[in-house]
Chains A and B, each alone.
Chain A
């Protein structure tokens, strides 16, 4: 199975900050990576697919990059609505696997 490791697990930041979350795969997954945002008590929502493609309706302050084994999700200027937990997911092969999540907190 492909292991996905996110860092950091928790990130404290302020409105307006630029933040980056990293996701590493235990083997190459090309660019078959998605990012999701989840708020407490809600279902996850797709932000980024194919490592860098922005999902329709997702704010343009979100961007993704990377290929192979290392990927990043960047939020260019944090907004109050962005404080949530973020997950990466590989869909290169079954079993699909998720990172453990990064909780973005208000500093």
Chain B
């Protein structure tokens, strides 16, 4: 059974930093690209970042470029999102999602339960 479990969310002050993790199981992690998608309270879905199966290619939304770094540890089946210089508009539930392939552009076939990040003073 495919499982994705996010952790690391919480309350952070504007300008602060946070690292989200997503531990996966039930599939060969390195064979799939992975992504982060967020959802602000009461709003729609917004793609944040993606990383190829090998970790050699990364992609970012303009809204987080330069402030977020996606990475993965294929030996530990874990995906990360390091966020710095956080803004109030970054407040959202952050979902990790499995891309439907390893390298290229894909839809998301499995999602985690989400981790809430609240940026507030």
Check A101–B109 contact: CB distance below 8 A. no
Q: How many residue-residue contacts, CB under 8 A, span A and B?
A: 58
Interface string of A57-77 (1 = CB under 8 A from B): 000000000000000000000
The interface residues of chain A lying within 8 Å CB-to-CB of B44 are: 87, 98-101
With contacts A46-B107, A49-B100, A91-B107 known, what are 12 further pairs, Cβ within 8 A? A32-B105, A43-B111, A43-B112, A49-B109, A87-B45, A89-B108, A96-B50, A98-B44, A98-B45, A99-B44, A100-B44, A101-B44
The interface residues of chain B lying within 8 Å CB-to-CB of A89 are: 45, 47, 107-108
The range of chain B's interface size is 20 to 34
CB pairs A–B below 8 angstroms (11 shown): A36-B45, A43-B111, A43-B114, A44-B37, A44-B45, A44-B95, A46-B108, A49-B107, A91-B107, A93-B105, A96-B35
The interface residues of chain B lying within 8 Å CB-to-CB of A45 are: 111
Question: In this assembly, does B27 line the interface, its C-beta being within 8 Å of a C-beta of chain A?
Answer: no
Which residues in chain B, 84-113, are within 8 Å of chain A measured between CB atoms?
95, 100, 105-113
* Total number of A residues with any Cβ neighbor in B under 8 Å: 25
Question: In this assembly, does A14 line the interface, its C-beta being within 8 Å of a C-beta of chain B?
Answer: no
Residue from B47, B108, B109, B111 in contact with A97 in the complex, judged by beta carbons closer than 8 Å: B47
The interface residues of chain A lying within 8 Å CB-to-CB of B37 are: 44
Check B109–A55 contact: CB distance below 8 A. yes
The 4 closest A-B pairs by CB, nearest first: A34-B107, A43-B111, A96-B47, A98-B45
